[in-house]
Amino acid sequence: MSGAILLVGFIIVVALAFDYINGFHDAANSIATVVSTRVLTPMQAVAWAAFFNFVAAFGFGVQVAKTVGKGVVHAGVVDQWVILGGLTGAIAWNLITWYYGIPSSSSHALIGGFAGAAVAKAGWGSLAASGLLKITAFIVLAPVLGMALGFALMVATLWIFRRTRPTRVDTLFRRLQLVSAAFYSLGHGTNDAQKTMGIIAILLFSGG
């Protein structure tokens, strides 16, 4: 087996290690409500979230994988070492933020690591400006939109159930938490699960 194939295999293992670290970095987001209210045990909640994360990649397209694969760095710059450098930087940042309990996006850590490795190799011209601008815009827009929609849904829920008995609300919402956790995991799967897909795809197409 040639050294190039061994290197590609090693980088794929590192990519999967990043995916694993991303899992325990972000998993609490998907299961916090159903575990804290004891709707599901931690193991049941993890299995529930894992199923819907997995399904998401097959039901909602791979646009995020395409953006990571082609929209961040110009293809001519990418080689195995750029990919390995990006993954290593992202893993280090994930572990640091996880250890200190800092809320941080694994997606942006990977994209930042990938972009940084490309700049180190070929300078700022190696970056795909349009893709990075789109990502940067949604770093700002996503939490603002989430806050606005969350507030609107909270007000609507309080108004709709304002005359309902607390016991009935508790029973209904314990069941609905399963639905919300499933949708959250689907959303997570359409985003985070595809990052590593994109990285592995560009690794395989970069001549490795």
Please report, for the chain, how many H helices and E strands are present, in that order. 7, 0
pLDDT for residue 168 is more than 80 = yes
pLDDT (tens digit per residue) in 17-61: 998 888 777 777 778 889 988 899 999 998 998 898 888 777 666
Secondary structure (H, E, C), 2-40: CHHHHHHHHHHHHHHHHHHHHHHHHHHHHHHHHHHCCCC
* 98 alpha carbon, distance to own chain's centre: 14
Q: For the residues 176-202, what does the mean pLDDT come to? A: 82
pLDDT bracket for residue 2 (50, 70, 90): confident
* Amino acid residing at 41: T
- SS3 assignment, position 101: coil
* Amino acid residing at 129: A
How much is the mean pLDDT over the chain?
85
Q: For the residues 127-154, what does the mean pLDDT come to? A: 91
pLDDT at 130: 86
Whole-model pTM over 0.85: no
pLDDT for residue 189 is more than 90 = no
pLDDT for residue 182 is more than 60 = yes
* Amino acid residing at 12: I
For the ranges 116-120, 133-137, 191-195, the maximum mean pLDDT occurs at 116-120
What tokens appear for 65 in the block? 């994988």
